[in-house]
A and B are shown apart, each in its own frame.
Chain A
């Protein structure tokens, strides 16, 4: 069974007099250990789709089954639990807590999972070592470079062993070289067995993925897998 099953999802924003159709019926299946890029121009609905996949938002209609769990009708707190256990977010702007050091930032999802302190520290340290930041654990975000911050964010995304890593323009705030480093990190994680979904509008970034889904006007325009294309 696929990790993600999305069936005929729509998302409509009610703007008073007019309705805004962000998604107009999307079907998408994503399997275990896939590396997929979702592309599209701004306003295409790709952010909305990402929010729904990431359980930050719920669809207006349609079905969404994530790792066997039917999430399209869950309430806020149930979605929070799903986000905590099943999804690791990596954002364009890193979204680290500025007053907390790297270790605490990575520890945070584990706090919300209710792990005890020693286990949390152990896992968070492992995760930071995994992304090559074993020597930066006590640094606060403003003491780290952009690439290092994004690595902290990746470590945070990984720490709870989520089903999917969901990265939204993960290189958008990084220079090309650092961006490539992050993409190499994702590649490595994918090879280790992680399922990775990247949302981007850059072809250069999307080409790292094994499958590219293009969205336009709230619908899937194309869905190409690299292996087939090659």
Chain B
């Protein structure tokens, strides 16, 4: 793509009508003019704001650049200019929600996390038992434990199944009926990738409720959530693992066979070992993906205020459902200045925005977990992948 950057000296030498490329300075100047113009227009209209100037300035820049380039360079190059600007604009549009979201979560959530109520960072070490009304206290310890437990169990279910399915697809589905089965499995994995998360939740619910007595239909427990999540996690694990296993050179397998190594040992010692970095990356990303899933957990694990370590008994709190619940609670009502915890008798200040604050802080907690997983995955693939594969 570097072919279009012709030296400016040649552009100077040719006649003005043949001039193809405007110097970059003109474009920058045009952008500045557009921004100033936008600021002036908005100031006259009385709605001056940074966002407004940027948006109107961008649109003005599109128009100005087209007109100017049309006069100086001709129709085709003008279209090219506008297209380049539009493409960059599209990227900026996509960056806007990402940056705005991260900013809001870090600022609003961070404020609540470090706030001294009752002590700094108590948000990460306390749960919600006895927190009522607008009490400016409480935390996500129970929800974090729930999220980690449920995701752990989902991983315990999904990783072996996903990995062995990938091994089957790569190592065993080569001939005859196994090939046919492999094609079927590939198709079904595609189908599973597209299952809406709420349907996975309904499945987890329906599966367990079918075996429950009729009077116990409101039963919810952690393992139901794990089963629902693994329905979403298995296809991700299979796809990434399959891709990684296929990258292992056939020569390595053949060398092992030639030495008389049995097939299963070849898979364990040669194939899996070669691909281990990629496999770990894929699995970590799959975990990062399901750890933020909300809809299945809404249906299957419910919500509690305290810590529940037992996956097979009773409801559990999780970070995503906690965020949703606090958000739904909306503004609290403060009748008095202070709220008393009925369980341990502690007294907290009352805050109208306490629920929303907790939602932001929990969102920050969740984002930190997800981002750590993503970074870990990147680091693994960066440092441990075989040098030839990159």
**Pairing of A with B:** no
A residues sitting closer than 8 Å to B (CB atoms) are none
